[in-house]
Each structure stands twice: as structure tokens, then as C-alpha cells.
Amino acid sequence: MSRQVYINGKLVPQAEATVSVFDHGLLYGDGVFEGLRSYGGKIFRLEAHVRRLYESALAICLEIPMPEADMCQAINETVAANTIEDGSIEDGYIRALVTRGSGTLGLDPNRCSNPQVIIIADLIALYPQELYENGLEIITSSVIRNHPAALSPRIKSLNYLNNILAKIEGLHAGCVEALMLNHQGEVAECTGDNIFLVRDGALLTPPLDAGILGGVTRNAVIELARGAGFTVQEVAVTKHDVYIAQECFLTGTAAEVISVVKVDDRTIGTGKPGPVTLDLKERFHCLARQ
């Protein structure tokens, strides 16, 4: 069925949801975005996602033409306007993005006008259910994360070519996800998800200064783990740490919590989703649906 897409204060049919070919979001990836999830019709950690959207915009000197509260309201209205046969989207995915707007063929952002605010709501299934039951097999990509001195990984920009190249490498290897290292050879994150390891009952995950995006789902899982009595250490992680981990799992808005059972053809733990991963996966699902 046709979706309703929010563009600059109006909901329009998806076939009419267009932007100018001169928009710098299209020409140069000049813009920012957030991916959000709704559970039971309620958007998970809406304010945290919107705050990060505005922080990303501020970091690239992009002024979003509406206050955060209005953005939250627009996202809720877009979700409510998109229906399926049995009513509103119960478990959906939302993409909120802001482009620099239409400009010239040159780089100068001062020649752009009218930033475009676009919100899309739809259904999503990032991975097949069998992968949630059996776990992922991933590889380490040869494509490293962007150097943080060149582009801060905490900016969720429309330019995802770095991640896409790593994703392509993973797909060529028969994997739906790939692990990315930083410029120091340390584990950063996967192409779209944060990574956690389990060793001796403790959780290890790369810190923000490893060149990762501070994921909203990552933060929720850290809170849940600590609340359940697990030790969580945000420390530098190497491939050696990954290979000897007892469990490994990924977190992300679209992915939620999913186990990794093999990395670079090396079996992790028992080769099946482990008890800590399954426990945190269940806790996350309960939290998301509160």
C-alpha cells in the first residue's frame, strides 16, 4: 500500500515525495538522519534519537528549521498516518532525515536554501528470523572506519559510503554484516551495528573514542546489563578478543539484539547464541514494549 511521507510540514503520498536534483543531500551526502523503531505504536527512545539528530546537524552547521519538540510531534504523526490492514504500524521503522537543501553544483553550503525535513515510516525486517534464532556469521572487512580526525563517527550523516563499501565486502563473502576496524587496528563496529563481547560473565564493547557511533540501542543494552548485575567495560577491543570471546552479539535500531556465532570463519563460543545474549535480547524486547 502507498505510504504517507512527511516533507516540510506536509504528509504526501510516497509517489509525490520528491526533492530537487540540486539538493546537496543528493549531490554530496550533505545532511543527517536517524533511524527509529516503534513498538506497539510507541516510538522507542524518541527524544534520544531526536537529540542525536540535532547534535549531528549542529556538528555540520546545518540548522534544522523546527524545534526538537515539533520534530518529535512530526515523527509521531507520520507513524500514525501510515496504516496497515489491522491499523497503525505496530512494529515499524522510521527514517528521519534533514538535507542541506537545494543549491548549486558547487560545494558551498551557503548557496543552499530550504533544508528538507523528511520522515518515512514503514515496516522492516533487517535479518531473517532464522538468523535471530541461529546467529550471524560475519567477516572482518578490509575497509576501515573513517579516521575520526577526518569525519567524526558521532555524526550520523547521509554519506554512508564507508559503511557501504564494507557491507559490499561482507556480502561478497556471503555474510550479511561485516566487522570494521579503526585506523589503529582496533575493533570499532559493524557496518550498521555496535558490537559486544561476553567473556567470563562480563560484557566488553568498544568505547566512543574507538571511532563508533554511540548507538541508542547500545546505550539501552548497557543500562539493562548493568541493571541485571553484569559488569560492562567500554574498552579497546582487538580481533584477538573477538576470536576468544565466549559470546558475541550486535545491537542496533533495526537489528535490535542479534547473536554472532562465527567471525572470519572462526566459531565463537559454542557456535550458538549464548545465555547472556539471549537474556539481554529478552530484556531488551521487554523494555522496548513497555
Q: Using the 8-state DSSP alphabet, how is residue 185 labeled?
A: S
The yes-or-no answer on residue 156 being catalytic is yes
Residue type, 215: G
Write out the DSSP string of 99-166: E--B--SSS-GGG-BSPEEEEEEE---SS-HHHHHH-EEEEE-SSPPPPTTTS-TTS-BS--HHHHHH
Angle subtended at Cα 234 by Cα 125 and Cα 209, rounded to the nearest 5 degrees? 90
Given the residues 42, 156, 167, 239, the one annotated as active site: 156
Angle subtended at Cα 282 by Cα 277 and Cα 287, rounded to the nearest 5 degrees? 125
> Can you give the length of the chain in residues?
290
Nearest-angstrom CA–CA distance, 279 and 261: 16
Nearest-angstrom CA–CA distance, 195 and 180: 10
Q: Catalytic residue numbers?
A: 156
